[in-house]
Amino acid sequence: METEILKDSQIQRAVDFLSDGQLVAFPTETVYGLGADATRSDIVKNVYAAKGRPSDNPLIVHVSSPEMVWQYADNSYKPLAEKLMKNFWPGPLTIIMPIQKDSLSKAVTGGLSTAAFRMPNNKVTLSLIEKFGKPIVGPSANTSGKPSPTLAKHVYHDLKGKIAAILDDGPTILGVESTVIDLSTDVPTILRPGMITVEDLLKVIDDVRSDHHKVKDEEIPKAPGMKYKHYAPSAQVVIVDDVNDFPKAISEYQEKNVPIGILATDEILKEAPDDFRKFSLGNDVISASKHLFAGLRGLDAENVNYILAQGFPNADHGDAYRNRLNKSAGQKHYEN
Ligand code: TXA
Ligand code: MG
């Protein structure tokens, strides 16, 4: 199949594809998602196939209004959820709640009694869902295991020929996926860190626990997606936590005599040798979050063997960045 690239003036064409049971990638403020009719299990199955995603990994249900959620979620956490929605929606917060029995298929929930809901902060996609009139599932629109797509061309690279269309709305603003919070536990629990932080959440609700760092491969993780290999380019990523270590790391890796990439702030890149492939993270951890996945993909395309990537170990609001970078590196840090 030919994958069409659609502009925001062609939302109706995207709606028609969805109504016809086709897959359409859509923009959000975090990363591009892979959209399909959330109410049709036969169609949702095609999402897993296109991504090569394990089928026990449940999908986020994207809505265009809080009201849409209550057609599926049960009311047990409604007051708490409404507080979160009022403060953070539309925005990068995914809320997990128990659902009404049989309201969503196993293909969406992975057989759990809960589902994940999110109202993205992107005009094109809110209008897409509204016009479609039903929620759409949306995992990140990458091949499973690869960095999430922050540009339409990343989606095209991974999924061309496998999906009907990509709604192109330019580069995504945040660059890392939404914060996932599970309300169905004693204390609301963060399963995946994102740009909405524990501190942000504590301004609105009384208590939040953070669980994402405890998830190991052997355990049954609360967010099934957290157990799989993630965000990994073909090159080995090596995290350089202390910026003062860059000169030494650079000369050590230069001795290997293979192509090396460097993913760092402008200040560090200035000092990097000419034969290194360079990708700028901008100046701080916020811009680094925005450019991380594009950087991993860009350097990979240059066939480097190693990527030296800046760690931002202490930066405020750096949780999401560090979490994704750690996974892409398989936890490999440069040791001086
Ligand atoms: O920013 C985002 O969240 C993007 C954009 C496209 O909205 N979407 C995204 O979807 O990152 P995905 O499928 O790549 O990640 C969803 C995560 C997975 O780790 C999944 O296991 C978890 O949410 N999840 C979904 N439903 C769940 C549930 N009922 N219980 C626990 N975890 C769940
Ligand atoms: Mg993903």
Of 149, 181, 175, nearest in space to 83 by CA: 181
Domain of 293 in residue numbering reads as: 236-328
The total domain count for the chain is 2
Could you please report the per-residue DSSP string of 291-333?
Answer: HHHHHHHHHHHTT-SEEEEE--TT-TT-HHHHHHHHHHTTT-B
- Return the CATH number at 277: 3.40.50.11030
229 pLDDT tier (thresholds 50, 70, 90): low
**Do you find a cis peptide bond into 90, omega within 30 degrees of 0?**
yes
Q: What is the mean pLDDT of residues 19-48?
A: 98
Angle between helices 319-328 and 285-301 (to 10 degrees): 20
* Strand partners of residue 35: 24
Of 16, 84, 94, 107, nearest in space to 62 by CA: 94
For 98-101, the CB contacts below 8 A with 24+ separation are 98/73, 98/74, 98/184, 99/72, 99/73, 99/74, 100/72, 100/73, 100/74
Residues with CB under 6 Å of ligand 1 are 28, 30-31, 33, 57-60, 92, 94, 96, 109, 112, 114-116, 118, 120, 138-140, 177-178, 180, 191-192, 222-226
Q: What is the pLDDT of residues 295-325, one digit of tens each?
A: 999 999 999 999 999 999 999 999 999 999 9
Q: What is the pLDDT of residue 170?
A: 98
pLDDT at 60 over 70: yes
Rounded (5°) CA angle 130-136-141: 120
Measuring from atom 6 of ligand 1, which residue has the nearest CA?
Answer: 33
C-alpha 309/C-alpha 246 separation (Å) is 10
Q: Which residues are part of a known binding site for L-threonine? A: 30, 62, 178
> What average pLDDT does the structure give for the chain?
94
Q: Quick one: DSSP state of residue 3?
A: P
* pTM, to two decimals: 0.95
C-alpha 95/C-alpha 82 separation (Å) is 10
Give a yes or no: residue 34 inside a domain.
yes
C-alpha of residue 305 to centroid of ligand 2, in Å = 24
Of 241, 310, 298, 235, nearest in space to 272 by CA: 310
Q: What is the pLDDT of residues 253-277, one digit of tens each?
A: 999 999 999 999 999 999 999 999 9
pLDDT at 156 over 80: yes
Q: Domain boundary residue among 180, 206, 227?
A: 227
C-alpha of residue 269 to centroid of ligand 1, in Å = 34
Of 320, 120, 181, nearest in space to 328 by CA: 320
Are 271 and 206 in the same domain?
no
C-alpha of residue 225 to centroid of ligand 1, in Å = 7
327 pLDDT tier (thresholds 50, 70, 90): very high
Nearest ligand to the CA atom of 221:
1
Are 203 and 241 in the same domain?
no
214 pLDDT tier (thresholds 50, 70, 90): very low
pLDDT at 173 over 80: yes
Ranked by mean pLDDT, which of 123-137, 209-223, 225-239 comes out on top? 123-137
Q: What is the pLDDT of residue 215?
A: 42
HEC sequence for 4-66: EEECHHHHHHHHHHHHCCCCEEECCCCCCEEEEECCCHHHHHHHHHHHCCCCCCCCEEECCCH
C-alpha of residue 192 to centroid of ligand 1, in Å = 9
Q: Which of 56, 94, 106 for a ligand 1 pocket mutation test, highest count of atoms within 8 Å of Cβ?
A: 94
Are 165 and 252 in the same domain?
no
Q: What is the pLDDT of residue 217?
A: 40
C-alpha of residue 33 to centroid of ligand 2, in Å = 9
Nearest ligand to the CA atom of 231:
2
Q: Are 199 and 187 in contact (CB under 8 A)?
A: no
- Return the CATH number at 165: 3.90.870.10
pLDDT at 187 over 70: yes
Q: What is the pLDDT of residue 245?
A: 98
Q: Which residue has the tokens 């594009």?
A: 294
Q: What is the pLDDT of residue 216?
A: 41
Give a yes or no: residue 334 inside a domain.
no
Q: What is the mean pLDDT of residues 287-298?
A: 98
Are 245 and 184 in the same domain?
no
C-alpha 310/C-alpha 250 separation (Å) is 12
Could you please report the per-residue DSSP string of 236-256?
Answer: EEEEE-SGGGHHHHHHHHHTT
